[in-house]
Amino acid sequence: MTRLPSQLPSELPDGLDVLRVFCGPDGRHGNELGVVREGARVAGRDERQAIAAKLGFSETVFVDDPERGVIDIYTPTLRLPFAGHPCVGTSWLLDVPELVTPAGVVEARQDGEFNWIAARPRWAPERTLRAYATPAEVNALDVPPPGEWIYAWAWEDEAAGRVRARAFPGRDDGIREDEATGAAALLLTERLGRALNITQGRGSQILTAPAPDGLIEVGGRVRLSGG
């Protein structure tokens, strides 16, 4: 789901930044992310959940301690202990070497135009990774009914590690298709055991690579929405 800044609700929390995470090589696309920098002003979980629902992004982050990188992540309907595109985007925005999530400490780094995180596959929410024979089959998929979180993928070039993917959260919360999904890319990388270059949604790009000590790195370009 992509929402233009002009379409945002009129009553927003102070210190809200809207980012696009996992932009394509041309700087377009990416999955929009709301980041409330002064999360401490929104102390209650119910209030945070209400704000996330009002914003309507696939995820919204509340920053509880910007210096230490302590964050809290919400979809429009539930709280997540970890999610990929919120961590990539928020670490870029705060320019911190790590984020502290309920799941654990997420390492972060910048390398040229890409911002990277390193996380453990067990932190990622459960996803159904569904393989297809060709990218054309993935492109032709209709949005499935709610009930199962599906990451549909196919090799574009197996030797080069290039993948075509689409993501269907299935939560019945208004997010029918996710433009770019770091946690699912992390799980696919663990399953395949190799670095991947994933094109997801309308043209977002996600890079991944296995790392030492069982970690998986996930990287992409981040832009301020509208920029």
What stretch of H or E contains 90? helix 84-94
Domains 5-106 and 123-222 in one fold? yes
The string of DSSP letters for 135-178 reads HHHHHTPPPPPTT--EEEEEEEETTTTEEEEEEE--SSSS-SSB
Residue 4, pLDDT above cutoff 80: no
Angle subtended by helix axes 84-94 and 182-192, to nearest 10 = 120
Residue 178, pLDDT above cutoff 90: yes
Share of the chain above pLDDT 90, in %: 89
Nearest to 53 by CA among 173, 169, 168, 154: 173
Residues 181-218 have pLDDT tens digits of: 999 999 999 999 999 999 999 999 999 999 999 999 99
pLDDT (average), residues 216-223 = 98
- Least confident segment among 41-45, 49-53, 84-88, 178-182: 41-45
Residue 6, pLDDT above cutoff 70: no
Residue 25, pLDDT above cutoff 80: yes
**CATH number of 123-222, picked from 3.10.20.30, 3.30.1740.10, 3.90.1150.10, 3.10.310.10:** 3.10.310.10
pTM above 0.75, yes or no: yes
pLDDT (average), residues 39-57 = 93
CB 140 within 8 A of CB 147: no
pLDDT (average), residues 128-143 = 98
pLDDT (average), residues 33-53 = 94
- Whether domain 5-106 has CATH 1.10.730.10: no
Residue 160, pLDDT above cutoff 90: yes
The pLDDT value given to residue 226: 72
The torsion angle over the Cα atoms of residues 153, 176, 225 and 164, rounded to 10 degrees, is: 10
The pLDDT value given to residue 43: 84
Retrieve residue 88's tokens: 């990539």
The pLDDT value given to residue 11: 59
Residue 111, pLDDT above cutoff 80: yes
Q: Where are the domains of the chain?
A: 5-106, 123-222
